[in-house]
Amino acid sequence: QVQLVESGGGLVQPGGSLRLSCVASRSIFSVNSMGWYRQAPGKERELVTRCTSNGDTVYADSVKGRFTISRDIAKNTVFLQMNSLKPEDTAVYLCNVVLYGMVYWGKGTLVTVSS
């Protein structure tokens, strides 16, 4: 079992930045993959970014060049740095971990981009 707790969401103006954090209840050293998804009101959940244990990283086209995923293994934490935010980035952002074939989700943190 892995519990995931996200934080760092909030209200930000267009062009601003936010850094999301996801703390896992156990070591993330051996996870198969970890990443961030988002779900906007009335829309399906979509992949934002994901990195695998061998270092491969993918980003949605809509966030390439603006968002960066990183992790601190010692702190069991994965981060999402979001720059140049746009109103269309407004969504609940959810942390995702795949460990030994099991998929775990956090409850999400709300990001609202508005002036």
Query: What amino acid occupies position 44?
Result: E
Pairing of strands 33-39, 67-72: unpaired
pLDDT in tens, the chain (115 residues): 899 999 999 999 999 999 999 999 988 878 889 999 999 999 999 999 999 888 899 999 999 999 999 999 889 999 999 999 999 999 999 999 998 889 999 999 999 999 9
Structure tokens at 53: 């244990």
Tell me if 5 sits within 8 A of 93, measured CB to CB: no
- Rounded to 5 degrees, φ, ψ at 56 are -70, 135
Q: For residues 73 and 82, what is the distance between their CA atoms, to the nearest angstrom?
A: 20
pLDDT in tens, 7-18: 999 999 999 999
